[in-house]
Each structure stands twice: as structure tokens, then as C-alpha cells.
């Protein structure tokens, strides 16, 4: 097994008196899909916000490629190659696909946009992910379906050689066919060697794509298992706290 690209050790986070993460450890491997599951309020969002640099952890160690790093703001995270695709799709409806994919990191020459270059890179990225559902890269995002938007959001995350992509509920609110498309996209991300951390409530989706499954329960990582060595029933048990994982963490 490769060395983990991200290794969290004993991270803690509290909001005032409420302790949300009580010493969580997590590994994400390059080229693998690591699922993070847990009930509402288990601390999933807080965990990824720390990785994204949006809400830094209070305590604990974050290792990236074996080196201890500090993640204080989103720029530091994205400089390392950690990209987050948020559940509520951080896209601007009024901009087109290219503009959204390059938002915040536009290619310029002489201080003005190099639209040609951005357009080429955007369509190359979409093609490398075998995206065939969008007609034109100059379509406004407002005119896209939910699955297409998710596709654009994911394509945006890999545009600049991301090493780790964190997906927050990528299939929530999608139809069956669109879910399938997005899950295929997630697999292709991993095939490119990207470390994928996927949060999901849908265990069917998780078992379809994930290599590893991590279960958060009330701010603690109660199970870290290989997906092939566990069952949906067990995972449900860990999520609800009715079963205890006895094996070693991956």
C-alpha cells in the first residue's frame, strides 16, 4: 500500500463548550477513494472544513505527503493541492462553465484574461474525465442540470493538478442516472491518482465506489475499514452506535 497522502492524527475541534471532534485520525491514500460516513452531527463537515482550511483544527497533527503542515486558510489548502467540492455546489449561476472552473485562478496575460487558454484547459479537463453531457463550455451554469453542475464542480477541483479532492455529498439530490454519472466521475478521479475523500449518506453509493470506509460517531472515528472487508449492516451499526468495530484501523 502507498503511503497516505493525508494523515490526520488526533485532531480536535470545539465550538465554545461543544466539542465536535474529539481526537479524530484519518488517512487518505492517493488513487483510492476513502469514504467518510456518519450521522448528522457526527462532525463530518467540521472534519473537512479543517482540511479545507476554512475552520482550522484546534489541536492535532495534519500530515501531507508525510510532512506536517498547517492549514489556516483555504489558500494554504489549495496551494497543497487539496480541493473541496461542497454539497451546495459552490458555482456562480451567472457565469459560464469556463468562468466557473477558473474562478479565483484565471489565466491572464498582460493583466487581461487569456480566454482561449482557459477554454482549452477547461474542455481538456472535462474530456479527460470523459464528460459528454455538456454541450458547450460556454454555457451558463444556470442552464445546467444538477448532475451537470456536480460534474462542473468536480472538474473544477481537478483543473489545477489537485492531489486530494474532498467531495461533500456528491450524489445528494441527484437522479439515478445522474448519480451513476457522478460516481463514474469519482472513480475516474481516483484512476488519475488523486486521493479522494468522499462524504456520503448513501451507503449504496459508498459501497459502489469506496476503497476505504471511515465512520464518525459523535466526534470520534469509530471504524476505519476496507470496504471489501465489511458489510452495509456493519457500517450502519457503526454509524448508529449499535455496533462496535473491533478490528484495527486501516
Partner 1 sequence: MSVTRTPETPEPAQQFTITDTSVNDQIGSGQDGGVMDQFRAYIQRVRSGEMGALPAVAGFVVLCILFAALSPYFLTDRNFANLLTQAATLVMLAMALVFVILLGEIDLSAGVTSGVALSIFVVLSDPGGAIKMNWILALIIALLTGVAIGTFIGFFVAKVGIPSFVVTLGLFLGFQGLQLIIIGAGGLYRIQQPQMLAIQNNNMPDWAGWVMLVVMLAISFGTAMLDRRRRTRAGVPNRTIVLLWIRLAVIAILGGVVIALLNQNRGQVNYLNGKVISGQVIEGVPIVVPITLFILWVGTFVLDRTKFGRYIYAVGGNPEAARRAGIKVTQIKWAAFGVCSTLAVVSGVFSASKVGSVDAAFGRDIVLSGVAAAVVGGVSLFGGRGRLIHGAIGALVIAVITNGLGLLNLPGGVNFLVTGGVLILAATVDAVSRVRGGGSLTRR
Shortest Å distance, C-beta 205 to partner 1: 10
Q: Which residue has the cell 475552520?
A: 55
Q: Which is nearer to partner 1, 7 or 97 (CB)?
A: 97
Beta bridge partners of 223: 215
143 sits near partner 1 (criterion: CB under 8 A): yes
Question: How far apart (Å, rounded) are the C-alpha atoms in residues 200 and 183?
Answer: 11
Biggest alpha carbon distance in the chain?
A: 61
Distance, CA of 64 to chain centre: 15
108 sits near partner 1 (criterion: CB under 8 A): yes
37 sits near partner 1 (criterion: CB under 8 A): no
The kind and range of the H/E element at 91 are none
Shortest Å distance, C-beta 53 to partner 1: 10
Residue 13 grid cell? 475541534
Task: Decide if 25 contacts 202 (C-beta within 8 A).
Answer: no
177 sits near partner 1 (criterion: CB under 8 A): no
Distance, CA of 183 to chain centre: 12
Contacting residue, 187, 241, 244, 247, with partner 1 by CB under 8 A: 187
Interface positions with partner 1 (CB under 8 A): 54, 74-75, 78, 84, 86, 88-96, 99, 103-106, 108-109, 111-117, 119-120, 123-124, 126-132, 134-140, 142-143, 184, 187-188, 191-192, 203-204, 207-208, 227-228, 231-233
Amino acid at each position: 500500500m502507498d503511503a497516505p497522502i493525508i494523515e490526520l492524527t488526533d485532531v480536535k475541534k470545539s465550538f465554545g463548550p461543544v466539542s465536535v471532534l474529539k481526537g479524530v485520525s484519518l488517512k487518505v491514500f492517493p488513487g483510492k477513494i476513502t469514504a467518510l460516513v456518519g450521522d448528522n452531527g457526527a462532525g463530518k463537515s467540521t472534519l473537512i472544513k479543517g482540511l479545507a482550511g476554512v475552520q482550522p483544527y484546534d489541536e492535532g497533527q495534519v500530515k501531507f505527503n508525510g510532512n506536517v503542515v498547517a492549514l489556516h486558510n483555504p489558500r494554504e489548502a489549495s496551494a497543497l493541492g487539496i480541493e473541496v467540492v461542497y454539497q451546495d455546489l459552490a458555482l456562480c449561476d451567472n457565469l459560464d462553465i469556463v468562468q466557473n472552473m477558473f474562478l479565483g485562478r484565471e489565466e491572464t496575460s498582460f493583466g487581461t484574461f487569456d480566454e482561449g487558454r482557459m477554454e482549452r484547459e477547461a474542455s481538456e479537463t472535462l474530456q479527460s474525465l470523459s464528460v459528454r453531457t455538456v454541450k458547450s463550455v460556454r454555457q451558463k451554469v444556470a442552464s445546467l442540470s444538477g448532475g451537470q453542475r456536480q460534474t462542473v464542480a468536480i472538474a473544477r477541483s481537478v483543473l489545477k493538478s489537485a492531489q486530494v479532492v474532498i467531495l461533500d455529498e456528491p450524489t445528494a439530490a441527484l437522479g439515478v442516472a445522474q448519480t451513476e454519472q457522478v460516481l463514474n466521475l469519482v472513480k475516474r478521479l481516483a484512476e488519475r491518482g488523486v486521493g479522494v475523500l468522499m462524504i456520503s449518506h448513501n451507503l449504496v453509493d459508498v459501497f459502489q465506489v469506496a476503497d476505504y470506509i471511515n465512520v464518525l460517531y459523535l466526534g470520534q472515528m469509530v471504524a476505519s475499514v476496507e470496504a471489501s472487508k465489511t458489510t452495509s449492516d456493519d457500517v450502519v451499526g457503526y454509524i448508529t452506535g449499535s455496533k462496535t468495530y473491533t478490528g484495527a484501523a486501516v
